[in-house]
Structure formats: C-alpha cells, structure tokens
Amino acid sequence: MASALQTVSLPCFLRTCRLSPPPRPSISFPSPSSSFSRTSQSNGCFVSARVKAASSSSSATAADVSELKDGIAEFYDESSGIWEDIWGEHMHHGFYDPGTDASGSDHRGAQIRMIEESLRFAGISEDGANKPKRIVDVGCGIGGSSRYLAKKYGAQCQGITLSPVQADRGNALAEAQGLADKVSFRVADALNQPFPDGQFDLVWSMESGEHMPDKSKFVNELARVAAPGGIIIIVTWSHRDLGPSEESLQPWEKDLLKRICDAYYLPDWCSTSDYVKLFQSLSFQEIKTEDWSEHVAPFWPAVIRSALTWKGFTSLLGSGLKTIKGALVMPLMIQGYQKGVIKFSIITCRKPPQTQ
Ligand code: SAH
C-alpha cells in the first residue's frame, strides 16, 4: 500500500469532488412508501425522529437529488479504475492503532482491519449456525467488502452502487475470484433498494452513508431490507454530536463544514447521535456507536504526503480542477478532525425479531 500511495489517493468521502453543483439537502422524514416506515409511522415514532442537519436548513429538491446521484455515478465511473490501481479493491479508510506512524504502515492490511473491527464491534457471530448467510453491501464500490464477507462466511452477497462501471468491475472480480455464484453487483439507489422487505441478516454500509442526501430515508431502507433479527453496520463520516444545550453547531464549525461540502460537493452530514435517534425511532435493538476518528487519523498524513510526491503531484495536475480544489481543501478535513467537528464513526444495531 505504501507504494500505492505514491499517487494521489483520496478516501471515499472525498471522492465527490467532481459533482456539480453542490446540493445541500437536510435530513427529512422517511419515505412513507416503505413497509417499515409505514409500521413505524403508525406509532408516531418518526415525529420524534425528526433530526436537523448541521449546516443548512435547506431541503433537497428532486432535481438536487437527481443531480447528486448523476454526479456520484459519473465520478465513480471515471475514477474507480485509478482507485483500484492505488488502493486495491477496498475503497475505504484503514483502521490503525492510535498514534501509528502511517508512513510505514500496511494500508491494505489496515483496510481489512477496518472490516474486521466493524464485524467485531457489531458482534457478528463466527460460529457456523449464526454467521451471516445473506448480506447486502449498500454503496459497494467495486465490491471488496462483499467478496471478503462472502469468503469469510460463505454468505450470499448482493452489492449496490450508483456506478455502472463499479458494478461491472465488481462482477468481473467476483468471476475472477471464483465467487460468481455467491456475489453479485448491480446499479441501484440505496434510498430505493431493489429488494423485498426482510431479506438480509447483515446490512453493510461502509463509507457510503456520507453520500446520502436523506439520512432518514437511508436508515429506513437499511431497516426495511434487514431480516427480523438482522444486524445493520454503518461506518461513516459525521459531525460531532451536539451538547444538551446546543441547537446547532457553532458558526465557525458550520463554516468549516460548508467549505468542505462546497469543495467536495457533499450533501450535509449528520451526527452519530442523529443515526441513533433514527434507529431508536424504529425500535431497533442493541444500538451501539463508537468514535473511530483516532483510528483513521494516521491515514491522513499518508494521503497528504502521497499528493506531495512527484508522481502524486503530476497525477493531481492531470486529474482536473475539481480534484485539485478537493486536494487543496484536504487540510480542512484534518482541521475538522483535530478540532473534533468531524467524526469517523461506526453505528450498529439489530432489527427486532418481529416487527409490529
Ligand atoms: N463501500 C465500498 C465503497 C465506498 S465508496 C468500499 O468500502 O469499498 C462509496 C460508494 O457509495 C460508491 O460505490 C457509490 O456509488 C456508493 N453510493 C453513493 N451514493 C449511493 C446511493 N444513493 N445508492 C447506492 N450507492 C451509492
């Protein structure tokens, strides 16, 4: 991985830098069209689940969302091949011991560790009878997680992405690795998944949540496709939780996030506790979170160093103005992390065995 870092390589949440223009939707009510949301709405739960986005009070229009989706698809279509050359098949951060010097680290090993730590945190069973058998990989990239999980558990995995290039590449890699009968990928929207209710005993979202313009709808879809008793794992960027007396982030924090969102064309983020509230509103069980910001921090110096090598610099120059703009804003991400505004979090929970 160290040699891979000789070229410019941006973590997944930075990769929306080609989108245009930046939509700035906030969290809204879940879609009333899903069966799970109908159940919960009948209990009035979603009224208390309304959560506010941090840095904007604007709402997503259908045109905003459509533009965002097109931009994400286009961006991953264009750049997934380069990322695979650099990062291999996993398009997410590594998990490191805090204080690790990333310069000598095994970054690909750290990416696998991120998967393993996520499974461990969620308490996924390793024993034959209880290990996951049906998995959905929501925002699958080129399917690194799906193939890893299919091999580890012998499970059937279905991945969805907005990028046709990623779906094709994911299927080609599955074929090449002898996993075509276990793993498949297709283009589909995480906010409107092409699966019946209650299909999956593990619902996996590794660094895709930050792309979702409607976090409530996102959570609702994850909940809908989870089987009764199934586990949901979300690993994502969020902003810090608000204090009990706070209505919103501080103006300087909003400004920092706004500059990052504008540069990277991301929809607004929410906090980890916003995710918790959404799962609570669905009466999910065993809701757990952990702040892993320190565990991904060693990655950032390596990313910046890679951009400063000759090869990295020339790759950056050849990549286009929006990518350059994104790279220039990278220090703001580090600033956001160091000041505690930006968090890298895991959220896990279990769907009740019987839905009401
Ligand atoms: N989870 C993968 C890839 C992370 S990159 C990995 O760890 O390797 C983010 C992924 O989210 C991309 O594949 C992108 O297409 C997907 N994505 C973003 N918004 C999406 C949406 N609305 N529906 C489905 N996939 C989405």
pLDDT band at 293 (very low <50, low <70, confident <90, very high): very high
pTM over 0.85: no
Which ligand 1 atom minimizes the distance to the CA of 92? 7
pLDDT band at 22 (very low <50, low <70, confident <90, very high): very low
Quick one: pLDDT at residue 120? 97
Q: Is pLDDT larger for residue 137 or for residue 66?
A: 137
Q: Is the pLDDT score of 296 beyond 80?
A: yes
What would the mean pLDDT of 295-312 be, rounded to a whole number?
70
Which ligand 1 atom minimizes the distance to the CA of 218? 22
pLDDT band at 81 (very low <50, low <70, confident <90, very high): confident
What would the mean pLDDT of 319-341 be, rounded to a whole number?
74
Quick one: pLDDT at residue 329? 72
The mean predicted confidence, pLDDT, of the chain is: 79
Quick one: pLDDT at residue 264? 63
CB distance 207 to ligand 1 below 6 Å: yes
pLDDT band at 299 (very low <50, low <70, confident <90, very high): confident
- What's the rounded Cα separation, in Å, for the pair 104 and 83? 20
Write the pLDDT tens digit of every residue in 172-190.
999 999 999 999 999 999 9
pLDDT band at 164 (very low <50, low <70, confident <90, very high): very high
- What's the rounded Cα separation, in Å, for the pair 267 and 287? 25
CB distance 167 to ligand 1 below 6 Å: no
CB distance 135 to ligand 1 below 6 Å: no
Quick one: pLDDT at residue 1? 29
- What's the rounded Cα separation, in Å, for the pair 159 and 204? 9
CB distance 71 to ligand 1 below 6 Å: no
Q: What residues does 160 pair with on adjacent strands?
A: 138, 186
Q: Is pLDDT larger for residue 209 or for residue 333?
A: 209
Q: Is the pLDDT score of 33 beyond 50?
A: no
Q: Is the pLDDT score of 263 beyond 80?
A: no
CB distance 144 to ligand 1 below 6 Å: yes
CB distance 140 to ligand 1 below 6 Å: yes
Mutate which of 161, 191, 203, 296 to test ligand 1's pocket (most atoms within 8 Å of Cβ)? 161
Sign (positive/negative) of CA torsion 333, 159, 189, 116?
negative
pLDDT band at 82 (very low <50, low <70, confident <90, very high): confident
Which ligand 1 atom minimizes the distance to the CA of 90? 8
Q: Answer left, alpha or beta for residue 252, where phi above 0 means left and psi between -120 and 50 means alpha.
A: alpha
CB distance 145 to ligand 1 below 6 Å: yes
- What's the rounded Cα separation, in Å, for the pair 251 and 222? 32
Quick one: pLDDT at residue 181? 98
- What's the rounded Cα separation, in Å, for the pair 351 and 208? 20
Q: Is the pLDDT score of 92 beyond 50?
A: yes
